[in-house]
Structures are given as structure tokens and as C-alpha cells.
Chain A
């Protein structure tokens, strides 16, 4: 186990290094960039431009810039945002709680919807309930998220009005500006973005659970349990469901990094001040210290969580051996 972990860790570091190289190369080759904002302005003299290039470290060739960036990053310094001049980690830290709130609530809602629906539709395979849920799940998976989000806004924030004549549900932001803190207000602001995310993500979970449950129900040990005369409820909950839920660990584990990464479309559409939106605006402005920091941390989390999933999997299912 220890050697396995060590090997995986070393592999992960190597992977990260390659990822960082590719990302850095890609971002550096994007035309435009921070300097173009100044170049357009005739008031900026050649000396001004040279001074700014030096300030942002853009006068070095790309490989040199990469090595400098790598050196600083290894010491925990992801550099300063070109736009706000603040440390990239500070920019991320400001938005992390917002993203974790949104994605955390979303994940819980997703599981609350997907687990019961997936299991019921597997038990009642080919009934009308199964047909409706699978159709909905299929629709959920095929929906373009941004379109669905805009649709939600049009229906609930524009067309439908509450008793006070105001929109039924807020379509942007985390809370009502200028109003004192209110839990109800916060929850109201979560409804639409969480609905949008959970609908799409629950669809995937549900379909996965359903097929996993169907596999298990047809296993010998479930038939044995039934043959012993165990009650159907016991068969489903004790024998089938517990086994069917194991693959879910993989799914949830792989989704955990999104607690950090946020949801680019959702945060952008609903003006949610999270990391997805930070990344989006930073990318638009080629603010590469921020872009690199988000991407590298996200990549590291994905690699780590897949490692974690493998380990937990081995613990949950002793038949799997890590070697």
C-alpha cells in the first residue's frame, strides 16, 4: 500500500508538471494580453510600455518566464494578478467560500434527488415511474446548461412576479444588495443556480445509480437473500443498496474538486462571485497568474481526489487490491 501510494504520488507530481507546462505555453501564446490595454492608448509612451512590461515580467522569453513562475509557485507564491495587483491566492481565497457554498448545496441536493430516484426506478424497472424519471434524466443530461439557466431566469426572475410585484426569485448575486443579512434571502438566491446545477448533475447520478442497482439486483447474493425469505425491504436496503452505492463513491470523489473549481456557466449566468467566474474574467483579460493558479490548484485537486477515490474504494471493497 505504501509503495503504491508513493508511486502514485510521484506520478501525480510529474503529471502536474506536464500540465503546468502545457497550460503556461498555451496561455502565453494567446494574442493580446495585459499590454494590449496600454498599447491602444496613445498617451502611453514607449518608456511607459517598457516599464510596464518589466513590471509584469513580460520582457523575458516564455521558457524563462515559465521557470520563474515554477520557482515561485513551488514556494507557494502564485504571483500577483495583473488586473488587481493582489496575490492570485488572495483573489481565489475571497471567492472560495462562495463557490463552496454553491457547490456544496448543489451536491447535497443532487444526492437527495438522485439516490431515491435512481433506486426506485431500478426496482420498478419498466414501469411508468421508471420511464418518466429516465426520460427526465436524459433530458437533464442533454440540456445545454447556459440555455437552461437563462430559461430559469426568464421564467422565475422576469415573467413570474411575487405578491409584492417584484420578481418571484432573484436571478443574480448571492444576496439582496443594501439589505441586512437574512437567511431566507440567502436561500432564495441559491434556488435558481442550485436548481440549474442539480438538475443536470442529478440526471447523471440517477442514471448511474439506476444501472448500478439493476446490476446488483440480478446478483446471486440478492437472489439468495430473497430465497432465504428475507423481506423485500431488507433485500433492497440491506443487501442491494449498500452494494449499489459503492460506485457512487467514485462519482462523488471525482466531483469533489468542483467544490473548488465552481461552475463556470452557472456562476457567470447568475452573477455568483465564485471561482468559476473569477477564472472566466481572468481568462478574458489574460490575467495569467490568476488563470494559472486556478488551473493548477484544480488539476492538483483532481489528481488528488482520484487517488483518494482509489484508496477509499479499496477500503470499501476488499476484493480490490492496490498493487
Chain B
């Protein structure tokens, strides 16, 4: 019932947003989009359409973190990218539905027969906030910046580029050395060629006041306190943005933010978690918007199929995990978990049960939810030779079926989830022992003797997920070449030490296939195989959530790069 209500609420919210947008995507941009101020020459006695956007006003966006820089070439935290999305646009983005969509490109790029040349048609008459015209030279400069020595950006994909040619100002031809199948994820931001000298990247003025084509630009950045964004005078949509300014307020904590959102001192609060929603629901005049986390992330359990002693072999079969290496045990654990109960009891029914590694967007590969069935779980464990002992815990060859579950300390939701899991596992004769660690310790790298990398665990509980293009996530998390070991200097996140030759082959082939539909097919097969082999259990889909005051119109969180900044040019405040 609760879920039905939530669904109903979501539908209503969606309907409201659509109507407020004046027909949204379906209808042509009609007059409700024209700001009220532009129609002031009409007689004032005339009734004002209550749905017409009002121009002016300031929205204060609270965030518990301060961006380090707004230059995508130097960004190291999510907040850097989220705030720069107010200002900077790319050729291609991921839209509110999780699909690729052109922004500064006229349309999604085309790819040559051999898959080596990707061609972008660029939009004309686009100006940066400093008045410079946007051309193909800016695409070239962005590429040079990404692969430059001081760059802090990921070069994956870009390092495969041989050159970029500009046959004219508004055509960019990207020549690849090898087929780079996830090419659609490239150029999600554009740095203008006048931004600065790449040899002095760290000292660019641009880093704190970027020049972009988006609706906003930085007017002032008071370190540690706030960043004031004002209208970009050269923004391509006339009359927009509706608001005069957006102020990003840096808050000491999310808790302070919730309180300030309640009192109305801030209009938007970025980055809530599922656990905050019950509190948000109680606040007057406050709503929230959520989307499946940008990377299609799941809260999940990672099983260790190899030895838990830290020897970290590349091939777990030399010393398989005493219980978890057996597929039947892993299946039994999944059968023993009532995911829906976790979602309903701990998350207020606000999120979806986890079913697949690829939950959203173009790559979505929906899978049936796993069955909660204690009998099947018990039968599988009996079959695997794990027999219930005197204390109710199963045993085999004198070994008790007692497993450690580790997560990050200080996360109440995860601690509650673990406690629920302990009870559920007790029902099927498995003893689960909670052993949490600070996130720095849990997530430490190979060189720091990280427990995940070295395999010093039985079961991990944390969040990770697909990525807009699944290639890097699936390769890094499920490919046998990415089992961290001495052989590969600890590279990769295949902490389960999961090996399946079919999965390896599918991931390898898809990485060099420019046919996106064929890739989607291949990745979906990988997702299905993962669900058969159960190296991980997807508990529930994580969401990216922001809270906002109800008078703010057209606010919507996107699963894409834009996060809460999606459509910020259309934001307006109901008086």
C-alpha cells in the first residue's frame, strides 16, 4: 500500500512537472514557457496565468561539501562536477531518463563503418559566457586538456584518440587508434580554447570562474561559505534562466542542511540519502526528487569466492573460500534475504529492490527479482553438505558456517541492514558476524594493504554500479583480468575473485564493437550470467536525491551528469 502511494505520488509529481513545463518533451515549446515579465506590456488587469514562470529571484542551494574546483580537468569530487554542471555543458549528456542526448552537438555523433572515426555536428551560434563563439577548436582544446600532463581527468577513451580534425568550424571528426565502443560518454564537458595555458592548468582563473555555455556563470566565490552564480548573458535560450541568481551555500553537514531546508533558509539541499527521506517527508513545504543513482548503483553484497587470508591469488581455485566458493551457498544466501522487507522497513518503500547490475537508461537489462524462499535456501545448504549443528548453525567437516560481513562504520542505514541480514541468515542456519571498518580502511588500495584488494573478508556491503557506459564497471568488477593480485599490481575491483570465461569474452568483445545495440545485447548477457553465478547480491537500487522547497518549480533530479542542475534554466519561484 505504502509503495502504491509512493508510486502515485511520483506519477503526480511527474504529471505536475510536465504540465509546468508547458507540455514537456511531447508538446512544442508553448507560451507558458515565456516568462511573465516579458508579457508585462499586456494590460495589468488581465488575469495572470498561475502556471506562467515568474522571472527574478534567488535560489539558495545547500551542499555539505565545497567544490575544490569547477574545472572538469581538475575535479576530484562529485560536488565539483555537480556545481560545474550549472555552468559547463558538453557535446553529449545523459538526460533525465538516463539516455544519451546531444547538447552542444546537433545530434548524437555518427560513427564510420570501421568504427574508427566519430563525427560530431556542432550547434551553430552558441556563445560562451565571455562572448566567444563555440567552434570545433574548443573540442580540440578540450581533448588536449584532458590528455595534458597536469590533467586530473580520466583519460580512458581519450587516450585512444589519434587526432581531432575540424573540416569546418561546426564539424568535429574524432579519429581513434582503436575502436572505442563507449564513445558516447566522451566530451561530456567542453573547455573553451581561451581558458588558459595547459602548462599552467593549476593556476587558471578559469578553475574558480569557468567560462561555459550553460545558463549560469560565477559572480563570486567566497571560500568556505558560498558561490554566487548569475545569469550567463549569452545563454542560447532567450529569456532564460528565469531566476536572477543561484547561490551555492556550503553547509557544515547534511543535518544542518535538513534543518535549514525546513526553515526555508535554503531552497534546495543537494545529496540526501534514502535514510533522510522520513525526516524530509515530515517537513512542511518541502519535497524531494530522486533518480536512480547516476551510475546505476546498487547497495550490494560482495561474496569472497577466494581465500580470506589476504594471499590474494589471481585464481581463487588454488584456495577456494570454504563456503562461499560453492554456488549453492551463495544462492542460498540470496534465497534467504527478504529484499523487499529491507526496502519497506528500513527505506520506507522509497527505493526499488535490486535485481540487476544494469538497471537504467539505454543499457537497462531488467531481470526478475530474486525469490525470498527459506525452504529453498535450507534445501540448497543441506545439499551442499552444510548440516545444522547443536547451536542451530550449520557445519561441514567441523567448520561452522560463520561469515563476517563488513561495511563502513558510522552509516546507520548500513548497520541496520546488517542487523536485519544477521536475523535472516540465522533463519537458514548461517551465523553472520558484523565487523565494520572506517571507510578509509575498508576502501584502501593495494599498496595500503586494503582488505578488499587483498581479499581479507567474507562478505562486503557497500554501493557500486554500472556507469553510463557499462564497459569500465563490468570490466573492472567482473572480468577475471581485474582480480586484484600481485600479477596485476592490485588493479581492478573484482573483489569476489569471480571467473567466468563467457563473461570475460562478452566484455572483451563488446569493448571493441562500435555497434551499440550489439553491445547492449552482450552486456545484458553478462548481467544475466552474473545473476546466475551470484558473485554479488543486489539488495536495492541507490538513488541520488535532493530536497527542495515546494515553491521552486521545474526542479528535478536527473540520473545523469546534471544531477540536480538539470533544467536549471527553467527553474522559477512561485511567489
Contact = CB atoms under 8 A, between A and B. Distances in A.
Interface of A: 30-32, 34-48, 51-52, 55, 80-86, 91, 94-95, 98, 153, 157-158, 166-167, 170-174, 177-178, 268-271, 273-274, 277-278, 281
A182 B491 CA distance: 55
A32 B265 contact: no
A56 B13 CA distance: 46
13 contacts: A32-B440, A38-B76, A42-B476, A43-B467, A43-B472, A46-B489, A82-B68, A85-B207, A98-B224, A157-B259, A174-B225, A177-B58, A281-B66
Given A42-B473, A158-B259, A178-B245, A31 B441 contact: yes
B1 interface: no
A42 B224 contact: no
B252 interface: yes
Interface in B219-255: 222-226, 228, 245, 247, 249-253
B51 interface: no
Interface in B61-114: 65-66, 68-69, 74, 76-77
B289 interface: no
Contacts of B66: 281
B265 A172 contact: yes
Contacts of B65: 281
B320 to A, nearest CB: 26
Interface stretch (B149-157, B415-423, B525-533, B548-556): B149-157
Q: Which of B149, B224, B493 is packed against the most chain A CB atoms within 10 Å? A: B224
B152 A52 contact: yes
Contacts of B477: 42
A48 B225 contact: no
B356 to A, nearest CB: 18
A199 B226 CA distance: 28
A55 B151 CA distance: 9
Given A43-B154, A43-B472, A271 B256 contact: yes
Closest 7 CB pairs of A and B: A273-B224, A83-B68, A32-B440, A42-B476, A273-B225, A94-B223, A43-B154
B252 A271 contact: yes
Q: Kindly name the residue among B208, B247, B263 whose own CB sees the greatest number of chain A CB atoms within 10 A.
A: B263
B475 interface: yes
Contact of B491 (A46, A83, A157): A46
A39 B445 contact: yes
Contact of B60 (A42, A174, A178): A178
Contact of A85 (B58, B68, B264): B68
A159 B79 CA distance: 31
A174 B202 CA distance: 29
A81 B251 CA distance: 20
B159 interface: yes
Contacts of A32: 439-440, 443-444, 448
Given A42-B467, A43-B467, A95-B224, A36 B247 contact: no
A323 to B, nearest CB: 46
Contacts of A34: 76
Given A36-B440, A37-B76, 13 more contacts: A31-B440, A34-B76, A43-B467, A43-B472, A45-B154, A84-B69, A167-B263, A167-B265, A172-B251, A174-B225, A178-B60, A270-B252, A281-B66
Nearest to A284: B65
Nearest to B148: A51
B263 A51 contact: no
Given A36-B444, A174-B225, A153 B259 contact: yes
